[in-house]
Amino acid sequence: MLDSFLFRAALAGLGVALAAAPLGCFVVWRRMAYFGEATAHAAVLGVALSLALNMSIMIGVVAVAAAMAMALSALTGRGYAMDTALGVLAHSALAFGLVGISLTSGVRVDLMAYLFGDILAVGKTDLMVIWGGAALVIGLLAWRWQALLTSTLSPDLAHASGINPERESRILTLALAITVAVAIKVVGVLLIASLLLIPAAAARPLARTPEGMALWAAVIGGASALGGLRISLQLDTPTGPTIVCTAAALFVLTGVIGALRPRNTA
Amino acid sequence: MNAPLSRTAPAQGAAPLITAKGITVTLGGHDVLRGVNVDVQRGEILTIVGPNGSGKSTLLRALTGAVRPSSGTVTSAKGLRLGYVPQKLAIDAALPITAARFIGLPGRVSRDEATKALARAGASGLENRQMGDMSGGQFQRVLLARALLTKPDVLLLDEATQGLDQPGSAAFYRQIEEVRETLGCAIVMVSHELHVVMAASDRVICLNGHICCEGHPETVASAPEYRALFGTGTMGALALYRHEHNHSHDPAGADACQDPACGHDHSHDHGPAHDHGPAHDHGPAHDHDHDHTHG
């Protein structure tokens, strides 16, 4: 089965969707959409570093994402607005990454594969990285779930319960970096944020609890990955964008369902 | 508004649950608190009053550990459990959460426990309601239910009745009264409802960046620093309360305020920036109570 490129692509898409679902919920709840976007853009610099230093892309991307989070808190601490700081960092990292990749001598790099993903070219090693990363992210979130949720609702409530909200937000940053790193191959850096955001946003009208929203996001994300893969084969369209289009269509669908359903039913 | 809390005497001589020693808190380059000393004793009701911007909420947040003082220390008894009811809590509309789920944070509770906890806080039947769809009073009660679930040693209430109408706030204080009787926890309240909280407290701290005066409610209410901040109107309210409920008061405890505590600020700390004075006109709001003080 693993010898079929379609089967590998389906597994890769599912793995990323499952990790992105609960994480995407936190991105939505904490209004971190732009932060997710910035981390994804910075990943290009991580890819450039990994190629230059000949190390795993996962390590390069996580390192750059961590550096970006630190630079971000340093900049906002010096009075820059959050969106300004994020914009400066995200686009600088993207530009430096693109320049860096072009400077990498020797191997010819398919830049498009990093920008838009190449899910049909996922190999067995890629699959192991994707599922390993996804398991790590899901494990981290499951382990810290209660504390993360409390910190998200109110940092003050978290403090009073003996939880350190800064620590929890560092854990989220780490999970985000890992997710971005494993999703590059599937949708590419330009569309990663959409895989975090759209399924979670689409899940909102269907859910009454945080856990329900995370589960619905996983269902919607998984359906988008599999559905998008199938549609892209039929229509011969690029797979990554087709997956995102499918998620967007589901977002509209759940929005309509939510609007039709009477509110405040207990 | 007559919802007095019972006055069981706090345990004397025991080690304090929380001790803040000489804490100064700087927020945005401005000293919100300067050299504040507070002890929270087991089982006592301690009320913090003060004008807007006097650092009441900051002091409470410093006691929970949410704000780190730039100097001074906050120490808690080992294994201390805090119940905290914040002044306001905005839950993002993007986050769906029912009351039953909310009170299970961060310690998970069974459905049964959640139902009982909500009932105890006077919020029966709200289990499946979304937090975002509740009225102010219901929301406060759910916050209280959550704070009580851990059986706290100290319950910290920050303007807990803000946004409630008078019956709602009276009912809320009755709930607090029951809570102290059943749990025996210490209660630290920040409130602007001077007449209610003053009457209900074992000890009052009058705050305006630093501690202006502290001690027994009556002593504080007659302290010149307190009158400078709030006018004399609340004296009437306090007298009203005492008239109606003096049977429950221990006369021996009536003068529990240590003079040094009330008076320590006279000798120092009153810089020119300090504006005690007629600018604070809390007085008139309470004037109606004067008419009832005698009789």
Q: Which residues of A touch B106 (CB under 8 A)?
A: 146-147, 149-150, 158, 161, 163
State how far the alpha carbon of B89 is from the alpha carbons of A19, A166, B143, B153, in Å.
Answer: 29, 19, 9, 23
Per-residue pLDDT of chain A (266 residues), as tens digits, is: 777 899 999 999 999 999 999 999 999 999 999 999 999 999 999 999 998 888 888 889 989 988 998 888 888 888 889 889 999 999 999 999 989 888 876 666 778 888 888 899 999 999 999 999 999 999 999 999 999 999 999 999 999 999 999 999 999 999 999 999 989 888 888 889 999 999 999 999 999 999 999 999 999 999 999 999 999 999 999 999 999 999 999 999 999 999 998 754 44
Between the two ends of chain A, the Cα-to-Cα distance in Å is: 45
For residue A118, tell me if it sits in a domain: yes
Q: Give pLDDT tens digits along chain B (295 positions).
A: 344 444 444 445 578 999 999 999 998 888 999 999 999 999 899 999 888 888 999 999 999 999 999 999 999 998 899 999 998 888 999 999 999 999 999 999 999 999 998 988 888 899 999 999 998 888 988 999 999 888 899 999 998 877 777 787 777 788 787 888 888 899 999 887 776 666 678 898 989 999 988 888 888 877 888 777 776 555 444 443 333 333 333 333 333 333 333 333 333 333 344 444 444 444 343 334 343 433 3
What's the pLDDT at B223?
81
Closest chain B residue to the Cα of A30, Cα to Cα: B92
Does residue B256 sit within a domain?
A: yes
Whether residue A99 lies within 8 A of chain B, CB to CB, comes out as no
Q: Is residue A62 part of a domain?
A: yes
Per the rule left: phi > 0, alpha: psi between -120 and 50, beta: everything else, A209 is beta
Q: Is residue A45 part of a domain?
A: yes
Instruction: Report the pLDDT value the prediction gives residue B285, as an integer from 0 to 100.
Output: 39
Query: CA separation (Å) from B52 to A196, B192, B208, B217?
Result: 42, 9, 9, 20
Query: Is-above-0.80 flag for pTM?
Result: yes
Q: Residue B205's CB: how many other CB atoms inside 10 A?
A: 24
Cα–Cα distance, B74 to B203 (Å, whole number): 19
What pLDDT sits at residue A104?
A: 79
A195/A114 Cα distance (integer angstroms): 15
CB distance from B122 to chain A under 8 Å?
A: no
pLDDT given for residue B13 in this prediction = 56
**Does A163 sit within 8 Å of B95, measured CB to CB?**
no
* Chains A & B: contacts with CB separation below 8 Å: 77
Give me the pLDDT at residue A107, please. 63
* Residue A129 near residue A58 (C-beta atoms within 8 A): yes
In Å, the largest CA–CA distance within chain B is 57
Q: In 3D, which of B180, B5, B160, B172 has the Cα closest to residue B85?
A: B160
A208 closest CB neighbour out of B64, B82, B130 = B130
What is residue B198's predicted lDDT score, i.e. its pLDDT? Answer: 67
Domain assignment present for A72: yes
Q: What is the pLDDT of residue B52?
A: 84
Q: Return the number of other C-beta atoms located less than 10 Å from residue B11's C-beta.
A: 13
Q: Which of B95, B115, B131, B146 to mutate to test the interface with A (most CBs of A within 10 A)?
A: B95
Question: Total domain count for chain A?
Answer: 1
3-state helix, strand, coil in chain A (%, to 5): 85, 0, 15
Residue A50: give the domain boundaries.
5-190
Alpha-carbon torsion (B230, B235, B236, B238), positive or negative: positive
In a domain, B101, yes or no: no
Convert the pLDDT of each residue in A143-155 to its tens digit: 999 999 999 999 9
Residue A140: CATH number of its domain: 1.10.3470.10
Supply the Cα-derived Rg of chain A in whole angstroms: 18
Chain A residues close to B82, C-beta within 8 Å: 160-162
Sequence-ordered list of residues with C-beta below 8 angstroms from that of B259, at least 6 positions apart, any chain: none
The predicted-structure confidence for A231-261, as pLDDT tens digits, reads as follows: 999 999 999 999 999 999 999 999 999 999 8
Domain carrying residue B64? 15-81+154-162+185-262
Instruction: Report the amino acid identity of residue B78.
Output: K
- Indicate the SS3 state at residue B143: helix
- CA B59 to chain CA centroid, Å, is 11
pLDDT at B233: 54
CATH number at residue B40: 3.40.50.300
The total number of structural domains in chain B stands at 1
**Residue of B83, B96, B129 with shortest CB distance to A209:** B96
Per the DSSP assignment, residues forming a β-bridge with B187 are: B45, B155
Question: Do the domain assignments include residue B7?
Answer: no
3-state secondary structure of A226: helix
Give the per-residue pLDDT at B243: 33
pLDDT at position A218: 97
**Are β-strands B71-76 and B18-27 bridged in parallel, bridged antiparallel, or unpaired?**
antiparallel
